[in-house]
A and B are shown apart, each in its own frame.
Chain A
Amino acid sequence: MQDFVQHLVNGLSLGSIYALIALGYTMVYGILQMINFAHSDVYMVGAFAAYYAAKWLGIENQPGLMSLATLLVVSMVACALLGLTIERLAYRPLRKAPKLNILITAIGVSLFLQYAGQLVFGADPKVFPEVMPDITFFQWGDLSLRSSDFTVLIVALLAMVGLHFLIHHTKIGRAMRAVSQNSSVAAMLGVNPDRIVAMTFVVGSSLAGVGSVLVGMKYPKIEPLMGMMIGLKAFVAAVLGGIGSIPGAVLGGLLMGLSEEMVVAYLSSTYRDALAFGILIVILLLKPAGLLGRYQVEKV
């Protein structure tokens, strides 16, 4: 029982990180019907931005709320700017091109960022600064609840609440929902779709920035290829929940995190990565639209 609760907490905190990154995939898909494969590398750049910012500001050994807030802001801004640049330079010129072109471009951007990252940051792993003091505040037999897991949960939750608010209670969110349903009609009602797409990249990328700092807290080893595996898993989470669906991304992320933790705990850690792709295969076979997604009917 204590074991199970422990795994539950670990799984939820891992899952909420997957969810944050999955949101970026799903938002961009919802608005452009493209998979932004570069998203996971934006996440990687966010982690490095926070790493260098901590060094530069000299707060790498001063864990606390101030450091957490500072690094979150730095990482979010860095990711937002990078996401915006990628959209502007790589994707926007292809807006009217066939869908496959933009997809391949996304893979190209992803590879570019991975290897440019190795060139600029170096290929060797670096140690992410300690952002928050990690204390065990509850111990009961095998169950030990650590503050880092709860920080991750709280920050992720705040980010998701913020996103929900943005989408449902602001002018820009209203425009995002309209553009995702029908961009040409939204344009005729006075919404500038290019601006809304750019905003979507800004928001999705900053969520990846949040995710990168949270991952840095939990697994403090960063390197330029760190985005690959977590990106793939977050992508599977988005597909599992129903790509394009925001609640779906959160649900998919949490399910992914929980099942991964449980597989590692009760089967074998060997299956950790196999699980993600197993889920992907099963979902594509049984419910390709995902848990909360809907089948798109081709417009005539």
Chain B
Amino acid sequence: MSDVLLDVRSITMQFGGLKAVDSLAFQIKKGQLVGLIGPNGAGKTTAFNMLTGVYRPTSGDILFAGQSMVGLRPYQISRNGIARTFQNIRLFRELSVLQNVLIAFNQHVKSGTWSAILQTQSFLDEEAELRSKALALLKVFGLDRKADEIASSLPYGEQRKLEIIRALATKPKLILLDEPAAGMNHSETHQLMETIAQIRKDFDLTVLLIEHDMKLVMGICENIIVLDHGVKIEEGNAQHVRSSQKVIEAYLGVEESV
């Protein structure tokens, strides 16, 4: 099974007496676009936080490209190739759009402080190259014209896009998108989903996304994982998930028998 990129083995996250995520297990193959859905409080974001090292799972293991990620720090996980965006936008609000992207390149920058002080040719070349790379990345989302604006001055939808761009700039193998369409209207959401499908091809990415909007997830995801109260209740393609009795119950509640 060499094409499995992410292998989540029965991870549990316990906060005191509450099991936010309970023995969650799933696999993501390289290149897949997978959706993680579930009602509010189902544990989706907690699962993301475990995958990115913010929380350390109480038990279980996370294998990424065959390597265990449990116990690694967030920056180490980022360097291994997992990037993420946040449900509530977390940009560096007071830095420019371009600077937000450049930060994410940092881990790949070779020039040190001395070459910056001495302004060596290799440093200048690298800076110029980074700048043009960042601009190229911004261009994919039509944000290159706003490169020098302060991040917090962007309209909401563009801030969301900038978060995705910033995550892409870490050159990830796997990108985790936490409700990328939150707060967007229908046509914006639709457009965003197309962009996600596009970057996945262009950047050779594997994508795991959390989304509330079932229709959307069903439209683009090949595989859908449904969480409810921290437990995986269903997994499969859109067709399968849509017709699952458990999923319908989780979202709509159980019908009282009269």
> Real complex partners, A and B?
yes
Do residues A171 and B109 form an inter-chain contact, with CB atoms below 8 A? yes
Residues of A within 8 A of B75 (CB): 187-193
Residues of B within 8 A of A175 (CB): 103, 106
Q: Restricting to A79-127, which residues have a CB under 8 Å from any CB of B?
A: none
Q: Restricting to B1-53, which residues have a CB under 8 Å from any CB of A?
A: 52
> Interface residues of A: mostly helix, strand, loop or mixed?
helix
Q: Restricting to A157-189, which residues have a CB under 8 Å from any CB of B?
A: 165-166, 169-172, 174-175, 177-178, 181-182, 184-189
Interface of A toward B, CB cutoff 8 Å:
165-166, 169-172, 174-175, 177-178, 181-182, 184-193
CA distance A177 to B95 in the complex (A): 8
Known A169-B116, A174-B99, A177-B92; 13 more pairs at CB < 8 Å: A165-B117, A171-B109, A171-B116, A175-B106, A177-B95, A178-B95, A187-B75, A188-B78, A188-B83, A189-B75, A190-B75, A190-B106, A193-B75
CA distance A186 to B73 in the complex (A): 12
CA distance A192 to B54 in the complex (A): 13
Q: Restricting to B206-229, which residues have a CB under 8 Å from any CB of A?
A: none
8 A-B pairs with C-beta separation under 8 A: A165-B117, A170-B113, A177-B92, A178-B103, A187-B75, A190-B78, A191-B103, A193-B75
With beta carbons under 8 angstroms apart, the residue of B103, B112, B167 that contacts A174 is B103
Task: Flag whether B170 is at the interface (Cβ < 8 A).
Answer: yes
Do residues B95 and A171 form an inter-chain contact, with CB atoms below 8 A? no
Task: Flag whether B189 is at the interface (Cβ < 8 A).
Answer: no
With beta carbons under 8 angstroms apart, the residue of A174, A184, A185, A190 that contacts B79 is A190
With beta carbons under 8 angstroms apart, the residue of A178, A192, A193 that contacts B92 is A178
Interface residues of B, count at CB 8 A: 32
Task: Flag whether B107 is at the interface (Cβ < 8 A).
Answer: yes
Most buried by B among A170, A182, A189: A189
Task: Flag whether B190 is at the interface (Cβ < 8 A).
Answer: no
**Chain B 89-119: CB-based contact to A (< 8 A → 1; otherwise 0):** 0101111000100111011010111001100
CA distance A172 to B73 in the complex (A): 19
Residues of A within 8 A of B166 (CB): 189
CA distance A191 to B74 in the complex (A): 9
CB distance from B15 to the nearest CB of A (A): 16
Do residues B52 and A185 form an inter-chain contact, with CB atoms below 8 A? no
Residues of A within 8 A of B73 (CB): 187, 192
Residues of B within 8 A of A190 (CB): 75, 78-79, 104, 106-107, 170
CB distance from B185 to the nearest CB of A (A): 23
Do residues B78 and A166 form an inter-chain contact, with CB atoms below 8 A? no
Do residues A189 and B106 form an inter-chain contact, with CB atoms below 8 A? yes
CA distance A3 to B84 in the complex (A): 62
CA distance A184 to B53 in the complex (A): 10
Which A residue's beta carbon lies closest to that of B109?
A171
Residues of B within 8 A of A182 (CB): 90, 92
With beta carbons under 8 angstroms apart, the residue of A172, A177, A192 that contacts B113 is A172
CA distance A171 to B123 in the complex (A): 11
Do residues A187 and B74 form an inter-chain contact, with CB atoms below 8 A? yes
**Chain B 172-203: CB-based contact to A (< 8 A → 1; otherwise 0):** 00000000000000000000000000000000
Which A residue's beta carbon lies closest to that of B79?
A190
CA distance A187 to B84 in the complex (A): 11
With beta carbons under 8 angstroms apart, the residue of A169, A170, A172, A188 that contacts B52 is A188
CA distance A177 to B245 in the complex (A): 50
Residues of A within 8 A of B86 (CB): 185
Most buried by A among B74, B95, B111, B113: B74
With A178-B103, A184-B54 as known contacts, state yes or no: A171 contacts B79, CB within 8 Å: no
Residues of A within 8 A of B79 (CB): 190
Do residues B106 and A181 form an inter-chain contact, with CB atoms below 8 A? no
Which B residue's beta carbon lies closest to that of A300?
B88
CA distance A44 to B83 in the complex (A): 44
CA distance A182 to B103 in the complex (A): 12
With A177-B95, A178-B95, A191-B75 as known contacts, state yes or no: A186 contacts B103, CB within 8 Å: yes
Q: Restricting to B115-154, which residues have a CB under 8 Å from any CB of A?
A: 116-117
With beta carbons under 8 angstroms apart, the residue of A166, A174, A181, A192 that contacts B102 is A174
The 3 closest A-B pairs by CB, nearest first: A190-B107, A190-B78, A187-B74
CB distance from B128 to the nearest CB of A (A): 13
CA distance A177 to B100 in the complex (A): 10
Residues of B within 8 A of A186 (CB): 92, 103
Residues of B within 8 A of A170 (CB): 113, 116-117
Do residues B92 and A191 form an inter-chain contact, with CB atoms below 8 A? no
CA distance A171 to B79 in the complex (A): 16
CA distance A192 to B76 in the complex (A): 8
**Chain B 64-87: CB-based contact to A (< 8 A → 1; otherwise 0):** 000000000111011100011010
CB distance from A266 to the nearest CB of B (A): 40
CA distance A82 to B52 in the complex (A): 34
Which A residue's beta carbon lies closest to that of B104?
A189
Residues of A within 8 A of B117 (CB): 165, 170
CA distance A181 to B96 in the complex (A): 13
